[in-house]
Structure 1
Amino acid sequence: MIISLLASLLAIMGLIAPAATAETMRERQWYLDRMQAESMWKVSTGKGITVAVLDSGVDTSAPELKGKVLEGKNLVEPSKDARTDPDGHGTAISMLIAGNGAGGQGIKGLAPDARILPLTVFGSTKESGTNSIPGLINAIRYAADSDAQIINMSLAFPYYQVNKTELGKLQKAVDYAVSRGKLLLAGSGNDGETSNDITYPAANKGVAGVSAVDSSLTTTKFSNHGSFVTLAAPGKDIPIRCIGKAGYCRSWGTSQATAIASGAAALIWAKHPKWNGNQVLRVMMETAGKPTEGKIPSRYIGYGTIRPRYNVLENKGSPGSADTNPLVPAQAGGPSSPSSSQSRSASASPQSGSSESEASEGGDDGASPLLWIVGAVVVVGGGLFLFLRRRRAS
């Protein structure tokens, strides 16, 4: 009954277009230049920060992750090691966060000196993978009690897959993690063009839901959108290690966007080690590239597209109170956030970051396709979103 984790349930995103030219890995990671990563790395590399990756496990044999992966725990099948990854998704996500570049041949993470705490929340069999909400709940609590500062959840469960009892337990786990000073980020989901369901844990109070933008900093059509979106990050044409095949593949999804947002948070936190998750999130929200139209937060990119360099290089953004999560309503009512006076409604069309954001981030503003030679023809993008969608009618 062993299967490649969730293989029959993942969203298959399509074929890679025929390669026109060979590009270096650095060129494929277009978002690093956009965010001026090289300049930021002179100030912060994420050293001293641990990111808990709640996913399918992490393969420690990946050269990009050598010496970066802690022991972790499998919260679904305790007898199995979290440092294995039958699916490959958790490994790909970890590379985007903390990859070392493997001598220029592999993926370079946005926070290359951060460490990864793997927490497995998806089982390797059909039976153990039927309902991963309990595993997710336990993993959040485990991460809250660990030394990890950031909890990365590149996954999304549509509302109809989370029953009332589970939702209550999930919120309590999130509340506990926030009370422990953690920063929680989760993907908004990848069915924005179809059902566009509310998803959890992105919609849990205190969790920053992350949508995806493309190389023109425009919201992707596939990103789920709604009031649960807090930030946006690059999530299209993102190179990852091919799942089940050799080489590197072009991928897309809010899984990837969440990982890149976690890397950005690690850079900021490493520069300000005395801050907690509430303060890092508040600065990320304040320095984000705001929507060019409509109200803030918008349904598509929330408070905007991440711009970590505004804090890392320019010290912009006020951390505010360590005791108040900017996404949780204050006692007096209303969100305690940089835009607390503004409605959570937004314009009815996809948005991009501000023109100032696009210009200041540098690089080519064009959205030319990334075509490269890899050892595979199928891309699995978006990761663990739409998990168990075929069980909707049950």
Structure 2
Amino acid sequence: MNAKLPELSGAVLPGLDTAGGRTDGRVDFDGQGHGTAMAALIAGRGGGTTGFTGLAPEAKILPVRLVDHSEGDWTSAISQGIKYAVDHGVKVVNMSIGQQAFQCPQELQDAIAYAIQHNVVLVAAAGNAGPTSNAPEIPARCPGVLTIGAVTKESKAWSGSVPHGYVTLAAPGAQMGAVGKDGTYYPDSRGTSGAAALTSAAIALIRARNPSMPGRTVVQRLIATAMRIGDKKWSPKTGYGVILVRGAMDPVNYPVPANAPNPVYDAFDKWKASTYRAPSSPPTAAKPKANQPSGIGTSTIIAGGAAVVLVVGGLVAGVLLVSRRRGLDRTPHS
């Protein structure tokens, strides 16, 4: 993302470039600036000409630039980025990216397992091809990932949100404002990427308010306190409902039974019990590949720590966000 944008002043730390661009990740090569827009939704500081403020404005952003789908090993880059972010202390992983796939690649699933073992919550966008396709996508379909659909201002399912059995919750993702990499304000951004980013920011707030709360409990509380849509307990577009931050972050006034449903971690536990073998040695941080192109990168991973109740300069609570593609979520996932 564009770390020099006034709206992100002081929010972006030096990060990693997996695309061989020899940058520290604080760049945005995506069209209008998808990475910048997602970072601002999370940690916008209210500066610049827009005055845009994110949901967790005291967050710190740790960017990781990803290789493009067509130019390198996209799955490997995401996996490396997740491990890098976890090794740097994040507590939430937001992946506003997607690629159609009928199985979760082993390398990516191992990275997800590594994050969960380190008490990190993982969030993914459900996808934007809803009107034309409900093909499964990664990382959304991977066990252990909290997958987010999008709703409109009226809390109705957004038509573009991809319906699927692994969609767990929903968040605002249509008729939204967004800030591009040049500081332009876009009043009608739409897509599940933004919904995932807002969910990740919400999780940062929850974890900053409740620093000892395990990631499993955070997700369980988000599900239990969500606002149901319609008369169904669950739907393939909006999951168990729209996230409600106030209830999720306040266990005293909004208690949730210890045995409340937690399908995200149930799916991970099932996968782990049936297939997972712990790696014999800890994963190492990602290193850029010398033969990767340096001119274009359509995805960005962002990690950050929200300082709401606690000052989290050391990323005690964190958000990892992976921004998906060129533009501001006006077209389907590719």
Please indicate the TM-score interval, normalised by the length of the shorter structure. Answer: 0.7 to 0.9
Question: Aligned-pair distance for 1:289?
Answer: 0.6
Aligned to 2:12: 69
Partner Cα distance (1:297, 1:99) in 2 = 32
1:13-92 pair list within 5 angstroms: 58-77=1-20, 79-87=22-30, 88-92=33-37
Partner Cα distance (1:328, 1:96) in 2 = 26
Aligned to 1:329: 266
Aligned to 2:84: 142
The answer as to whether partners of 1:287 and 1:317 remain within 8 angstroms in 2 is: no
SS of alignment partner, residue 165 of structure 2: coil
- 1:302 corresponds, among 218, 224, 239, to 239
Aligned to 1:212: 150
Gapped runs of 5+ residues in structure 2?
Answer: 272-325
1:258/1:319 CA distance change after superposition, 3 Å: farther
Partner Cα distance (1:218, 1:253) in 2 = 14
SS of alignment partner, residue 37 of structure 2: helix
1:122/1:315 CA distance change after superposition, 3 Å: farther
Aligned to 2:59: 114
Partner Cα distance (1:282, 1:269) in 2 = 13
1:330/1:82 CA distance change after superposition, 3 Å: closer
Deviations 1:141-169 (A, max 9, x none): 21222211111111111116xxx6x7111
The answer as to whether partners of 1:157 and 1:385 remain within 8 angstroms in 2 is: no
1:83/1:317 CA distance change after superposition, 3 Å: farther
Aligned to 2:140: 202
The answer as to whether partners of 1:171 and 1:205 remain within 8 angstroms in 2 is: yes
SS of alignment partner, residue 301 of structure 1: coil
Aligned to 2:120: 182
Partner Cα distance (1:293, 1:80) in 2 = 50
Aligned to 1:155: 97
SS of alignment partner, residue 196 of structure 1: coil
Partner Cα distance (1:102, 1:312) in 2 = 27
TM-score, normalised to structure 2, is 0.75
Partner Cα distance (2:328, 2:132) in 1 = 16
Q: CA RMSD in A?
A: 2.8
Deviations 1:166-218 (A, max 9, x none): 71111111111111100100000000110121111111111000000000000
Aligned to 2:45: 100
Deviations 1:321-359 (A, max 9, x none): 9xx97513389979xxxxxxxxxxxxxxxxxxxxxxxxx
TM-score, normalised to structure 1, is 0.64
Partner Cα distance (2:18, 2:149) in 1 = 26
Partner Cα distance (1:319, 1:144) in 2 = 29
Question: Aligned-pair distance for 1:293?
Answer: 2.0
Q: Which entry has the higher C-alpha Rg, 1 or 2?
A: 1
SS of alignment partner, residue 261 of structure 1: helix
Aligned length: 276
User: Which one-letter code corresponds to 2:333 in the other structure?
Assistant: L
Question: Aligned-pair distance for 1:247?
Answer: 3.9
Partner Cα distance (2:198, 2:269) in 1 = 34
Partner Cα distance (2:243, 2:268) in 1 = 28
The answer as to whether partners of 1:279 and 1:319 remain within 8 angstroms in 2 is: no
Aligned to 1:251: 189
The answer as to whether partners of 2:50 and 2:183 remain within 8 angstroms in 1 is: no
Partner Cα distance (2:70, 2:76) in 1 = 14
Higher relative CO (CA 8 A, sep ≥ 6), structure 1 or 2?
2
Aligned to 1:221: 159
How high is the sequence identity, in percent, across the aligned residues? 34
Partner Cα distance (1:209, 1:331) in 2 = 13
Deviations 1:293-319 (A, max 9, x none): 23x332121121000011346741438
Partner Cα distance (2:22, 2:269) in 1 = 47
Deviations 1:343-389 (A, max 9, x none): xxxxxxxxxxxxxxxxxxxxxxxxxxxxxxxxxxxx943278522xx
The answer as to whether partners of 1:237 and 1:251 remain within 8 angstroms in 2 is: yes
Partner Cα distance (1:264, 1:316) in 2 = 16
